[in-house]
Amino acid sequence: MDFSRFGRWLRAFATALLLVVVVPAWADDAPGFDRPGLGFATNPLHAGQFAYEQGLPDWSRHRDSGVTTDLATYDTLLRFGLGSGLELQLGGSPYNRQHQTADGSMQISHGRGDTILGLKWAPSPASDIWNWGVLGNVEFTDGARDFRSDRRVYTVGVVADQKISEQTDISYFAQWQRSGGRDNYLLAPDYNYQLNDHWGFYLETALLRDADHRNGTQAGGGLVWQPLSNLQFDTWFRHRLGGQAAVWEAGVGVAMFFGR
């Protein structure tokens, strides 16, 4: 297995992490991060700001028709603030490792995933209680053979965030996804609680419906630590409650932003 490119990526990540520690965040109204969780932040980057979010890695386990698939993916998301609540996003996974077992046989594959291009709009809230945003993206079929979609995937997601108190808010996330004339749907409310200036946690449920009209449910949560206003670490998990969904999903990651 050739880790040479992966090693260069890790060195680049370490350099970026050093920069974000020594470069302060100037904005008082600091943007939110899109990870962890199924939804995304409704307080977007300001014009000229840049964010880097990285799974270290994120992992999932699926079981279907006697086949167990474990996937570790180093998801990367780059966000660019355009102003007026708009963000341009570029995502992908520079490295994935998949382990499949079935009837005593085993197969391991690795490679990069598809490129994802997206645009988010989260306008200034007209209320102190509610804010919202919409994110649309397209996933191209340019990844390694075992990690690319058969056809382009088009996704539209909407988040509405309700502030309950200074420490608590509830988010409502809905997503529609289409590929090759087939549709998938997702609903995912979550409860967020800020323990103090640096620590917070969330609880999340997910209702899924795939293109074959199969339903699934999941529940989970996560913990975030924000030592600086422009730097966040996270850990999270989800577990299948029933139906057609990943048995387990979990991960750790980091997110940081730069700019005035």
Tokens representing 231?
Answer: 């730097």
The CATH label, of 3.60.20.10, 1.20.5.510, 2.40.160.40, 3.30.56.10, for the domain at 4-258 is: 2.40.160.40
| pLDDT, tens digit (0-9, with 9 covering 90-100), for 41-53 | 999 999 999 999 9
This prediction has a pTM of 0.88
Residues of the chain with pLDDT under 70: 1-28
Which region holds residue 103: left if phi is over 0, alpha if psi is between -120 and 50, else beta? left
Give the pLDDT confidence score for residue 23 in this predicted structure.
Answer: 42
> In this predicted model, what pLDDT tens digit does every residue of 90-104 receive, in sequence order?
999 999 999 999 888
CA count, 13 A, side-chain hemisphere, 54: 15
DSSP calls for 194-226 = E-SSSEEEEEEEEEEE-TTS-EEEEEEEEEEEE
Nearest Cα residue to 130 out of 174, 157, 170: 170
pLDDT, position 64: 85
Rounded to 5 degrees, what are φ and ψ at 12?
A: -65, -40
The DSSP code for 177 is E
Closest CA to 118 of 156, 173, 163: 156
Please state the domain extents for the chain: 4-258
- pLDDT reported for residue 221: 98
As a whole number of angstroms, the distance between CA 241 and CA 61 comes to: 14
Query: Which SS3 state, helix, strand or coil, does residue 7 take?
Result: helix
- Phi and psi at 99, nearest 5°, equal -125, 115
Distances (CA, A) of 97 to 57, 122, 233: 10, 34, 22
